């Protein structure tokens, strides 16, 4: 394998491990963004609403995600799609739980919509990955 590609794949593995650790730390932190929103509310003397704080985090995540995705080199696209499909499979489990153990029809409806969207995402991801891999195959003449 080309050394540049191997180095890029190693960097992708390190980055994905760091992202998994960060997500795990956020998920297991007591309160997560709720605690941060409440702290901002308390420190500002009630001037910052916790919803505004959470919405600001959401908007920043959109910008960071946009710049991260568009800065990916074409050589890393296929491994990145594989990681995205793995993340989507975790979302499938959550959507199935939402549909299966929902206490209300609204929650079951949102779970069903999430299940449909993530299914399309996974299927499309595998199609794109296969197409990218086909580009690297030698053509028989």
Report domain extents, the chain.
Answer: 31-71, 74-141
16: which residues sit within 8 A by CB, 6+ positions away? 83
Q: Tokens 């549909």 sit at which residue?
A: 99
Extract the tokens encoding 21.
Answer: 């650790």
Instruction: Give per-residue pLDDT as tens, 50-92.
Output: 788 788 888 998 898 888 777 777 767 667 767 777 777 788 8
pLDDT confidence of 15, banded at 50, 70, 90? low
User: What does pTM read for this prediction?
Assistant: 0.44
Extract the tokens encoding 139.
Answer: 């053509």
Instruction: Give per-residue pLDDT as tens, 113-126.
Output: 888 988 888 888 77
Distance CA 115, CA 121 (A): 10
Task: Specify the DSSP element, H or E, that contains 55.
Answer: helix 50-70
Q: Give the pLDDT of residue 103.
A: 78
Extract the tokens encoding 28.
Answer: 């297991």
């Amino acid at each position: 394998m080309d050394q540049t590609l191997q180095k890029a794949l190693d960097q992708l593995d390190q980055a994905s491990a760091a992202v998994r650790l960060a997500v795990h730390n956020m998920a297991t932190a007591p309160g997560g963004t709720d605690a941060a929103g409440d702290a901002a509310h308390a420190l500002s003397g009630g001037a910052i609403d916790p919803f505004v704080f959470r919405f600001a985090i959401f908007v920043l995540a959109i910008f960071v995600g946009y710049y991260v995705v568009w800065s990916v080199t074409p050589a890393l696209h296929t491994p990145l799609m594989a990681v995205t499909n793995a993340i989507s499979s975790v979302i499938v489990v959550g959507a199935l739980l939402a549909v299966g153990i929902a206490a209300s029809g609204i929650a079951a409806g949102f779970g069903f919509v999430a299940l449909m969207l993530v299914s399309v995402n996974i299927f499309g991801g595998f199609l794109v990955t296969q197409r990218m891999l086909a580009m690297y195959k030698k053509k028989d003449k």
